[in-house]
A = this chain, B = another copy of it.
């Protein structure tokens, strides 16, 4: 079954009794070929187990059909899901994808990008909107298309596919305000590593400010992806003499940590304190209590990123920013605050709206 040497296009041409050009044509369906010849070529291909040498095609066509994605980690399912969707759509349109992991480090990101270019990547999916100038100029110098994902900045300097993190997180704040909360806390990912987290905090803060509510420094805790950190943050927040009645987490993993810690400490969610997440990971609905969170259209973003890049590469005109809507998913982890003087006051506040 397996021959001495891997067959190339010349072998196929010889076996089929045609020229290499004809072989190329029938394989790529790039021109009409007589049925008879077509049959012979296909037979030869099958008999020899011929698979075109990719590198030669790339070199000749001057096109690689390869996209790349650089993400902070694969170990948070939101990123995995995005990559998955990106890859699916790319494949549908005949593109391959290369993946690199930056570990939230811009220097690593830059280096990976350079490597990916070296490997033939022609379009880049980037996570968030916070990237080094070197990255942008590297891409620009080679005229390679890229798109920042999970952010949305119409008219911004860079193409984006995603949503407005400020707006979405202000919806989260609003939900809690409507329930009557006035004392808030936020647990977020490290803002320095993650512009989305920073924007989210921003959105919450300014929404609260509109109601005259302040978010003091000690009510804001940044932590990493480790569950233990989130649990500790929760413990700290509820230990204050004046604890928050609502805690907004900038991702579901953090909220999960809160739920675990609450169960452990005998604190009732949402009776004693409401907790919100962000992302709507697949298990969010299965927790006890089920998690109120913001649904984020991750898969759509992955698809759209692939489409954007490919359209750009193929010369199709595409808008530089595409927005997807995130929305609130109300579940059990949020409820009105425990009845207290403050709660009553906040009730009055809303009467006047």
Contact = CB atoms under 8 A, between A and B. Distances in A.
Contact of A140 (B2, B81, B98, B141): B2
Contact of A51 (B2, B97, B117, B228): B117
Interface size class of A (residues with CB under 8 A): 35 or more
Contacts of A101: 84, 87-88
A143 interface: yes
Contact of A282 (B117, B142, B226): B226
A55 interface: yes
Contacts of A318: none
A31 interface: no
Contacts of A114: 51
Contacts of A231: 286
B118 A51 contact: yes
Interface in A94-139: 96-101, 114-115, 117-120, 137
Interface string A254-279: 00110010011000000000000000
Contacts of A1: 137, 141
Given A227-B286, A263-B288, A282-B227, A96 B119 contact: yes
Contacts of A99: 87, 97, 99
Nearest to A53: B59
B260 A2 contact: no
16 contacts: A1-B137, A2-B141, A2-B142, A49-B141, A51-B142, A54-B55, A54-B119, A55-B58, A55-B59, A55-B120, A84-B101, A87-B100, A91-B115, A97-B99, A227-B286, A264-B288
Closest 6 CB pairs of A and B: A55-B58, A74-B80, A227-B286, A2-B141, A55-B59, A54-B120
